[in-house]
């Protein structure tokens, strides 16, 4: 029998829409946060703000903080993920300008915004918020393992950084397009900025990881789906802890395995091979059954960005035949991805 329902806990909530800040970067790879927002929350991006001659653009019009405020922007988001997660001194005048114009600042970098005196003083002066995404909410409970109402889907991976966020976002949109009630539940910095709320799982103390996942996906109507962004990999020596806590706390009814067929070694750990899709399915079911005995695999999401269109479709068909599961790429869509969607909520 289920324990009494507890009220949903508050998670981080962000003031939107956004002005995307690109600083002075010249490499697109450092702007992955801004690109993620432009790709998946374009309607929440008023414009972008760069220093000097913009070498990188994500699409929205270029404008000043004051112009963005006049168009309804609430926050400036640091859309850069640079080495070390730092805020260079050269950025500070622009960030102060944004605060003085009336914008809050949202950052997913490692450095605390409030640790920079100029930003702290400007925020206090204008009563603006300095919001660090990698700060989990307070009073996270220890996981209870209690069975919750509603349905849940979790994206899991053979490794990190191969499409778990994009797959979860695409599945949530596909569910909604079919009239299936569904919410995307963000667990990483860019996902939180896209959704406007969530919990940064990589900043939660391990003992409270499953409790945080329970907070993120509370009791819901029986026909409602929480589509939960996965983190790390159960096979990654560095990040398996966050993956396991998220699996136990999410209690997924369905999981989707995300895989990059071109990756041979665990990212950044050359001595460790990427596991097979079958190994991930088997281990996820064995570990996930602790909190949901009915857990099942809904299919496989392949990152096929390195393949041509015909080659990708051939790969999807071969893998689907081999695994006995639908296989597709959410960024390509098409019949293969539609079959994956349908199998998830059947």
**What tokens were used for 116?**
């920079």
Please give the tally of structural domains in the chain.
2
- Domain carrying residue 116: 12-132
Strands of the 254-259 sheet, one edge to the other = 182-185, 225-228, 151-157, 254-259, 296-302, 327-328
Domain CATH for 235: 3.40.50.300
pLDDT band for 11, please (50, 70, 90 cuts).
low
pLDDT higher than threshold 80 for residue 3: no
Residues 185 and 118 in one domain: no
Residues 119 and 188 in one domain: no
HSE at residue 70, side-chain half, CA atoms within 13 A, is: 5
In this prediction, residues 11-15 reach a mean pLDDT of 77
Please answer whether residues 118 and 90 qualify as being in contact, where contact means their C-beta atoms are separated by less than 8 angstroms: no
Residues 53 and 161 in one domain: no
Domain-embedded: residue 138: no
pTM: 0.88
Residues 199 and 50 in one domain: no
Residues 123 and 171 in one domain: no
Residues 211 and 114 in one domain: no
Domain CATH for 98: 3.40.50.720
Residues 201 and 74 in one domain: no
| pLDDT tens string 293-325 | 999 999 999 999 999 999 999 999 999 999 999
pLDDT of amino acid 30: 83
Strands of the 104-107 sheet, one edge to the other = 45-50, 18-23, 75-78, 104-107, 130-132
HSE at residue 60, side-chain half, CA atoms within 13 A, is: 29
Element holding 38 (H helix, E strand): helix 32-40
For residues 48 and 40, give the distance between their C-alpha atoms in angstroms, rounded to a whole number: 15
Domain-embedded: residue 189: yes
Domain-embedded: residue 170: yes
Please tell me whether the peptide bond between 222 and the residue prior to it is cis, using omega within 30 degrees of 0: no
Domain-embedded: residue 139: no
Place of tokens 């990698």: 134
Residues 195 and 316 in one domain: yes
Domain-embedded: residue 226: yes
Residues 87 and 221 in one domain: no
User: Which of 275, 263, 276, 40 has its CA nearest to residue 168?
Assistant: 40
pLDDT of amino acid 27: 80
Domain-embedded: residue 39: yes
pLDDT higher than threshold 70 for residue 291: yes
pLDDT higher than threshold 70 for residue 64: yes
């Amino acid at each position: 029998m289920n324990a009494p329902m507890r009220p949903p806990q508050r998670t981080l909530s962000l003031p939107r829409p956004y002005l995307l800040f690109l600083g002075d970067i010249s490499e697109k790879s450092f702007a992955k946060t801004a690109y993620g927002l432009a790709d998946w929350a374009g309607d929440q991006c008023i414009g972008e703000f760069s220093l000097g001659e913009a070498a990188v653009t994500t699409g929205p019009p270029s404008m000043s903080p004051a112009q963005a405020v006049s168009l309804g922007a609430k926050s400036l988001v640091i859309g850069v993920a640079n080495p070390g997660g730092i805020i260079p001194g050269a950025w500070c005048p622009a960030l102060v300008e944004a605060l003085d114009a009336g914008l809050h600042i949202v950052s997913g970098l490692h450095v605390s915004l409030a640790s920079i005196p100029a930003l702290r003083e400007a925020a206090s002066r204008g009563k603006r918020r300095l919001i660090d995404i990698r700060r989990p909410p307070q009073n996270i409970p220890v996981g209870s393992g209690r069975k919750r109402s509603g349905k849940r889907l979790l994206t899991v991976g053979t490794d990190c950084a191969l499409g778990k966020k994009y797959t979860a976002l695409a599945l949530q949109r596909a569910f909604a397009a079919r009239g299936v009630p569904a919410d995307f539940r963000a667990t990483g910095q860019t996902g939180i900025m896209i959704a406007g709320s969530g919990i940064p799982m990589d900043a939660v103390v391990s003992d409270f990881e499953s409790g945080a996942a329970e907070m993120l996906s509370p009791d819901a109507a029986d026909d409602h789906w929480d589509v939960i962004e996965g983190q790390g990999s159960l096979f990654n020596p560095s990040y398996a802890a966050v993956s396991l806590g998220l699996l136990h706390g999410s209690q997924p009814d369905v999981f989707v395995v995300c895989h990059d067929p071109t990756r041979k070694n665990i990212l950044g750990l050359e001595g460790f091979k990427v596991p097979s899709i079958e190994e991930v399915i088997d281990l996820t079911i064995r570990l996930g059954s602790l909190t949901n005995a009915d857990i099942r695999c809904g299919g496989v999401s392949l990152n096929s960005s390195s393949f041509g269109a015909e080659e990708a479709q051939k790969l999807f068909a071969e893998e689907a035949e081999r695994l006995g599961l639908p296989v597709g790429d959410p960024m390509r869509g098409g019949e293969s991805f539609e079959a994956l969607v349908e199998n998830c909520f059947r």
